Amino acid sequence: MIKNASIAGTSLTEKLCHHLEVIYAGLEQVENHAELAEQLLAIMRIDSATCPSVAHDNATSLWTEKDLIMITYGDTIQQDNEAPLKTLNRFMHQYLKPHINSVHILPFFPYSSDDGFSVIDYSSVNESLGNWQDIEAIASEFDLMSDLVINHCSARSAWFENFTKAEGVGHDYFYTAPPDQDTSQVVRPRTSELLKEVNTRQGTQHVWCTFSHDQVDFDFRNPNVLKAFVEIIRQYLDHGVKTFRLDAVAFLWKQAGSSCINLEQTHEVIRLLRSLIEQARADAIIITETNIPNHENLTYFGNGNEAHAIYNFSLPPLLLNSLITGNCVHLKRWMMGMPPAQRGTTYFNFIASHDGIGLRPAEGLLTDQEIGNLVNTMQQFGGKVSWRTGVNGEQKPYEINVALFDALQGTDKGPDKYGIDRFICAHTIMLGMEGIPGIYIHSLLATSNDYEKVENTNQNRSINRHRWSYIQLVEALEQPHSQHHKVLNKMLDLIEIRTQQSAFDPNATQFTLHLGDSLFGYWRQSVDRSQSIFCVSNMTLDTQSVHLADMNIIQTDTWQDIISRELIEQSVTNIELQPYQTVWITNKVV
C-alpha cells in the first residue's frame, strides 16, 4: 500500500466523493456522497486517514517485455479424477513456464449459460473446476487475470430470485423499463428482444437484457449494486487476482432516450473502481473489454485514469483481412492512426479469443464489401457468423466464429500449403507490437474448429472452445509432425526471443514502415534507446524483397535477424522474404 503519494489538497475520501457526484448526479438514490465513499473504503479495508489518495507516477509502468497473458477456460484441459484447474496448472508448468508469466482464466464461477458469462454466484468457484485453493495456487505462480462480469448476471442467481420475490439482497439490483419506452437508439450486440417480461410479487416487470434473457442487466443507479461489486473486487484481490477484466463494461449505465453505451457515468464508474483497486494493490491492472469501433474504444483510457489497458479489438479483423488478401494497406493505415499509449497505459493485443473475431471494430476501417469478402472466406473455411441488429433494425455481421488455425489455412483464393506459416506470421506480428500480447490457448495448441461442440450446444462460439483430454493433448504435442507440436514449439521460441528484447517493452516507441502493400512493417525502439528492432512480414504467397535502405538501417552497425539468428553482412542491401516469413532485425546482437 502506498503511503506517501497523494494528490495535493485531495484526500482519498474527497476523490471518491467527486466520482460519486458525477455518477449519481440528479439522482435521489444517494444523498450523502461522503458516507457512501467511507462505506466503499470500509469494504475495501482501506483506512483513508492513514492511506492518502494514490497519485501514480505514469513514468513507471506496471509491465515489461516479459509480460504475456495466456487466455483459457478453466476446463480447457481435462484429466479423469482431477479438478480441471489442477490439470491446467500442471499443463502450464509442464509446457509453458517460464515462457508465459500470466494467465487469464475465463469466468470460473457457477453459471447458467454463455460458458461462464452468466454468473450465478460471484463469490464461489464452480465446483466442476475446483476451488479457491486451486485459484490461489495458480495465482502464486502466474499473474492472474479474472473477469469482473459487471454488466449482468444470471437469471438463475439468488439475486434475481430475490428480485422476483421483491425481497432480500438483490431485489432492487436490476434495471427495468416500461415496455413502451422508445429503445430505438439502443446499441447492442444481439438480435434478441431487449426487454424480458418477468412476473414478480409486485406485478409484471420488464427487465433489461443487453445480451440474452438469461443475462439480466444490473441497475447501477442503485448504490447497493456498486457496493456489491466492490465487495466482489475485494474478495478477488484476497484470492490473488492481479488483473481485472471488466466484461462488457461499455453497456453498464442505461439512460432513457440514449444509446445506452459509453455513457459518461460508465466512464466515471471505471474511474472510481480504479481509485479503489490501485489503492488496495499498487500493481493491480484494469483492462476494459469494449468490443466497439476503434475511436470509441480509445476513450476507455480516459486521461490515464480509467483502464490501464484496452483491448486492441481492431487488430484481429484487420490482420486476418491482410493475410487472406495479401494486402496490408488497411492494417498499415490503422497502425499509423493509433496514438501511442501514454506511460502508465498500454494496449492489450490479441488475434484470437474465446469469442469470435469481432467485426464492429472494423467499421470505418474496412468497407462493407471487404467485410463481406472476409465473412465469405471464413465461411468457406468452416467458420460461422453471428449477427446483430443495427440502429435501423437491419441485420449486420457482428463477429466471425472460427478457430484461428483454420481461419488462416488459406487466402480468399482458397486453401493452400502455407497454413502454419501464415498462422505463425500472424502471431509474430502481434508479438512485436506496442502493448501486452494475449494468446488464446487454442492458438498455442493449433486447435481446429470443433463442429461437434457447435452441434451439441447450438452456439456458434463453441467452434473455438474445444476441450482437450490431457492424455490426448500430450500425445498430440509429442508427435513431431503434428500441427500441435510444430505450432507450440515455434510459438514458445518466438515468445522466448520477444521477452529478451527491451525494444519490445509494451511502451517502447513504435513507427509504421512504408514498404508497399505486400510487406507489413514497423520499427520499435526501447525506452532507453539502446535497442532498435525492425519488424517486417511478408503478407503474400510470393517471395518479396526488402530493401534495407527503405528502413534507414545504418550499415555501419552490426545487425541480426533474431528469429533466424542470422547476421546481416554490411554488403547486404536486400533481404528476400519467403511467403509469410517475418524478420526481427536488431542492432543489439544476441
Residues 45, 121 contacting (CB under 8 angstroms): no
Alpha-carbon gap, residue 170 to 166, rounded angstroms: 9
What is the pTM (predicted TM-score) of this model?
0.95
Residues 52, 10 contacting (CB under 8 angstroms): no
Q: Which CATH number describes the domain made up of 509-586?
A: 2.60.40.1180
Q: Pick the closest to residue 127 from 70, 74, 89 (CA basis).
A: 74
Residues 134, 140 contacting (CB under 8 angstroms): no
The answer to whether the annotation marks 121 as part of a ligand binding site is: no
3-state secondary structure of 322: helix
Residues 445, 488 contacting (CB under 8 angstroms): yes
Alpha-carbon gap, residue 508 to 501, rounded angstroms: 11
Residues 367, 327 contacting (CB under 8 angstroms): no
Give the DSSP letter of residue 292: S
pLDDT, mean over the chain: 94
Residues 24, 224 contacting (CB under 8 angstroms): no
Q: Tell me: the pLDDT tens digits for 110-144?
A: 999 999 999 999 999 999 999 999 999 999 999 99
Report which residue type is found at 157.
S
Taking the CB of residue 445, how many other CB atoms lie within 10 A of it? 25
Dihedral (CA of 77, 65, 137, 355) sign: negative
Print the SS3 string covering 58-84. CCCCCCCCCCCEEEECCCCEECCCCCH
396: confidence class by pLDDT, cuts 50, 70, 90: confident
Q: Pick the closest to residue 441 from 3, 69, 7, 21 (CA basis).
A: 69
Q: What is the pLDDT of residue 8?
A: 41
Print the SS3 string covering 32-61. CHHHHHHHHHHHCCCCCCCCCCCCCCCCCC
Q: Tell me: the pLDDT tens digits for 166-213?
A: 999 999 999 999 999 999 999 988 888 999 999 999 999 999 999 999
Torsions phi, psi for 246 (to 5 deg): -85, 100
Contacts of 66 (CB under 8 A, 6+ apart): 101, 499
The answer to whether the annotation marks 272 as part of a ligand binding site is: no
The distance in angstroms from the start CA to the end CA of the chain is 39
Active site residues: 247
Taking the CB of residue 175, how many other CB atoms lie within 10 A of it? 24
Q: What is the CA radius of gyration of the chain?
A: 24
Contacts of 426 (CB under 8 A, 6+ apart): 319, 320, 323, 351, 404, 408
61: confidence class by pLDDT, cuts 50, 70, 90: confident
- Give how far Cα 225 sits from Cα of 229, 231, 451, Å: 6, 10, 39
Q: Tell me: the pLDDT tens digits for 366-387?
A: 999 999 999 999 999 999 999 8
574-577 and 69-72 beta bridge pairing? unpaired
The domain segmentation of the chain, as residue ranges, is 509-586
Q: What is the mean pLDDT of residues 58-78?
A: 91
The answer to whether the annotation marks 461 as part of a ligand binding site is: yes
Q: What is the pLDDT of residue 358?
A: 92
549: confidence class by pLDDT, cuts 50, 70, 90: confident
Q: At what angle do helices 329-337 and 315-325 cross, to 10 degrees?
A: 150
Q: What is the pLDDT of residue 3?
A: 33
User: What is the per-residue DSSP string for 368-406?
Assistant: HHHHHHHHHHHHHTT-EEEEEE-TTS-EEEEEEE--HHH
Residues 155, 213 contacting (CB under 8 angstroms): yes
Alpha-carbon gap, residue 245 to 249, rounded angstroms: 9
Alpha-carbon gap, residue 346 to 211, rounded angstroms: 28
Q: Tell me: the pLDDT tens digits for 413-470?
A: 999 999 999 999 999 999 999 999 999 999 999 999 999 999 999 999 999 999 999 9
Alpha-carbon gap, residue 235 to 44, rounded angstroms: 9
- Give how far Cα 299 sits from Cα of 24, 292, 305, 309, 366, Å: 21, 11, 11, 11, 21
Alpha-carbon gap, residue 6 to 362, rounded angstroms: 41
Q: Of how many residues is the chain composed?
A: 590
The answer to whether the annotation marks 114 as part of a ligand binding site is: yes
The answer to whether the annotation marks 188 as part of a ligand binding site is: no
Residues 19, 26 contacting (CB under 8 angstroms): no
Cell of 481: 509432425
The answer to whether the annotation marks 201 as part of a ligand binding site is: no
Q: Tell me: the pLDDT tens digits for 471-512?
A: 999 999 999 999 999 999 999 999 999 999 999 999 999 999
The answer to whether the annotation marks 550 as part of a ligand binding site is: no
Q: What is the mean pLDDT of residues 216-232?
A: 98
Q: Helix %, strand %, coil % for the chain, to 5?
A: 35, 20, 45
Angle at 117 between CA 341 and CA 141, to 5 degrees: 65
Cell of 431: 508479438
Alpha-carbon gap, residue 160 to 172, rounded angstroms: 9
Cell of 255: 439512460
Alpha-carbon gap, residue 531 to 560, rounded angstroms: 12
29: confidence class by pLDDT, cuts 50, 70, 90: confident
Alpha-carbon gap, residue 102 to 123, rounded angstroms: 22
3-state secondary structure of 195: strand
Q: Tell me: the pLDDT tens digits for 228-280?
A: 999 999 999 999 999 999 999 999 999 999 999 999 999 999 999 999 999 99
53: confidence class by pLDDT, cuts 50, 70, 90: low
Determine which helix (DSSP H) or strand (DSSP E) holds 13, and give its type and residue range: helix 12-23
The answer to whether the annotation marks 524 as part of a ligand binding site is: no
